[in-house]
């Protein structure tokens, strides 16, 4: 089925668009999608949107499925709407929430999603057409009351933040070679804004997903996730941890704490895969994870009765024991498990209808998307 994506650069018929994008859409009004490698890639290095004085490129290493990557994040250069001056900005939690909101309104078909041809590769990209009011309303529903000017600025930053994702091959098989992908978080930003439009109803936008997101969508390498719960989480680490658990822990079962059967994750894994800095006092990292877990419990993502078990690993020390690592066993709520079970059924049916064809091949080895493979 997906081979037809390669055949033409002409406008794709509506019936074929619907056939290819049907699994991406959802009838569940709380549901969005996870996109493993795209979601795992460090894109939002600061808790808040951060302005800096000079151009800078952050280097953040992370690990996924046993492969080591490095993300090089370059500051976005934007024009301040109030002062008309140029600013250098790194994206933060606001941009993350706006990107998640855009994904949600696309999955819910509130926005219009189209497959658009890439004239250079002959492949297609996924482009979303929406109004600013669509984003604003959804974010308000989640408790994030951003002004239209803030949403516009977030879209500017998302479309101007360049990330080079490099695969760090330690096997020696690619000696003398460098594998990388460069792209902005969102691209092809096109707008038609009315000057006097306080609601955003008359301000239209089109944006194209990152190549890794497009690849996952067309390759059925995603899983459902409850965006309403995730979007209400206060802490970025809680949103990341919930997204990771939702994508990977597809064998979840109810009352797992009775059998000590939960989602295992260590502090070392969190630091490596989230790309977080290792604090001098590791206890500070542990406290940050504990706060994220409490946030997840408050949104009924984790069991109210027994949300987690924790084991601290200490290094030998003459004085006060120093934390060397921590291991958590997270126990999802019954509602979360029900969503996992229904999501598994949904994706199994989508793969069966697609005939097992996972769509376009990866751009480069190591950049392909795969459905979650357990813990």
Average pLDDT over residues 96-109: 98
290 — pLDDT class (breaks 50, 70, 90): very high
Same domain for 159 and 77? yes
Partnered with residue 308 across adjacent β-strands are 330
Please tell me whether residues 220 and 319 are part of one structural domain: no
Query: Residue 66 above 50 pLDDT?
Result: yes
DSSP secondary structure code for residue 255 in this structure: T
Mean pLDDT, the chain, integer:
88
Site of tokens 């949403």: 151
Least trusted range by pLDDT, from 77-91, 289-303, 356-370: 356-370
| Spatial contact of 323 and 314, defined as CB atoms under 8 Å apart | yes
Shared domain check, 303 and 263: yes
- Residue 234 falls within a domain, yes or no? no
Q: 176 is written with which tokens?
A: 């003398």
Q: For residue 54, tell me if it sits in a domain.
A: yes
Query: How confident is the model over 302-311, as a mean pLDDT?
Result: 95
Give the per-residue pLDDT at 195.
Answer: 87
- 373, part of any domain: no
The closest of 261, 227, 195, 198 to 102, measured between CA atoms, is 227
Residue 82 lies in a domain: yes
Residue 12 has pLDDT above 50, yes or no: yes
* Residue 13, pLDDT score: 75
pLDDT, tens only, 161-185: 999 999 987 655 556 778 899 999 9
Q: Would you state the pLDDT for residue 340?
A: 95
**363 is a domain residue:** no
Both 199 and 299 in one domain: the answer is no
Whether the CB-CB separation of 129 and 204 falls below 8 Å is answered with yes
Which pLDDT score is estimated for 10?
A: 53
Same domain, residue pair 17 and 133:
yes
pLDDT band at 122 (very low <50, low <70, confident <90, very high): low
Domain match, 153 and 219 both: yes
Same domain for 177 and 310, yes or no, is: no
In this structure, the answer to whether residues 115 and 205 fall within a common structural domain is yes
Residues 206 and 250 in one domain: no
- State whether 85 and 183 are in the same domain: yes
Confidence of residue 369 (pLDDT cuts 50, 70, 90): low
Q: Region 250-256: what's the mean pLDDT?
A: 85
What is the pLDDT at residue 183? 95
Q: Which two tokens stand for residue 142?
A: 């989640």
* N-terminal to C-terminal alpha carbon distance within the chain: 31
- How many domains, in total, are found in the chain? 2
- 217 three-state secondary structure: helix
H or E stretch covering 180: strand 179-184
Q: Is residue 375 part of a domain?
A: no
Same domain for 167 and 217, yes or no, is yes
Judge whether 136 and 200 are in contact, CB under 8 Å. Answer: yes
Within-domain flag for 294:
yes
pTM: 0.88
Is residue 233, in this structure, part of any structural domain at all?
A: no
Which residues constitute the domain of residue 323? 241-330
What contacts 71, CB < 8 A, 6 or more positions away? Answer: 41, 42, 43, 58, 59, 60, 61, 62, 163, 164, 165, 166, 275
User: 40 and 106: one domain?
Assistant: yes
């Amino acid at each position: 089925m997906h081979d037809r994506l390669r055949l033409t650069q002409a406008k794709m018929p509506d019936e074929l668009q619907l056939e290819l994008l049907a699994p991406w859409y959802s009838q569940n009004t709380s549901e969005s999608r996870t996109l493993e490698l795209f979601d795992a890639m460090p894109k939002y290095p600061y808790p808040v949107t951060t302005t800096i004085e000079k151009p800078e490129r952050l280097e953040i290493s992370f690990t996924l499925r046993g492969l080591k990557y490095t993300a090089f994040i370059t500051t976005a250069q934007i024009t301040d709407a109030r002062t008309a001056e140029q600013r250098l900005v790194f994206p933060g939690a606001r941009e993350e929430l706006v990107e998640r909101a855009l994904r949600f309104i696309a999955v819910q078909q509130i926005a219009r999603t189209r497959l658009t041809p890439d004239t250079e590769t002959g492949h297609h990209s996924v482009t979303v057409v929406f109004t600013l009011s669509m984003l604003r309303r959804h974010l308000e529903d989640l408790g994030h009351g951003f002004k239209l000017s803030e949403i516009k600025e977030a879209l500017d930053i998302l479309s101007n933040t360049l990330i080079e994702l490099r695969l760090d091959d330690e096997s020696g098989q690619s000696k003398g070679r460098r594998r990388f992908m460069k792209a902005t978080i969102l691209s092809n930003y096109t707008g038609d804004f009315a000057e006097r439009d306080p609601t955003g109803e008359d301000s239209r936008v089109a944006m194209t997903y990152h190549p890794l997101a497009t690849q996952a969508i067309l390759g059925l390498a995603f899983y459902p996730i409850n965006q309403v719960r995730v979007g209400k989480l206060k802490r970025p680490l809680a949103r990341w941890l919930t997204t990771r658990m939702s994508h990977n822990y597809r064998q979840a079962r109810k009352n797992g704490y009775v059998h000590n059967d939960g989602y295992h994750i260590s502090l070392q894994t969190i630091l490596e895969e989230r790309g977080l800095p290792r604090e001098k006092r590791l206890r500070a990292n542990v406290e940050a994870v504990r706060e994220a877990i409490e946030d997840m419990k408050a949104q009924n993502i984790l069991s109210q009765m027994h949300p987690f078990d924790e084991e601290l690993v200490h290094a030998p020390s003459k004085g006060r024991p120093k934390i060397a690592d921590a291991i958590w066993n997270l126990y999802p709520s019954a509602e979360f498990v029900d969503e996992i079970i229904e999501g598994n059924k949904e994706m199994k049916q989508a793969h069966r209808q697609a005939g097992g064809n996972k769509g376009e091949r990866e751009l480069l080895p190591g950049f392909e998307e795969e459905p979650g493979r357990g813990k």
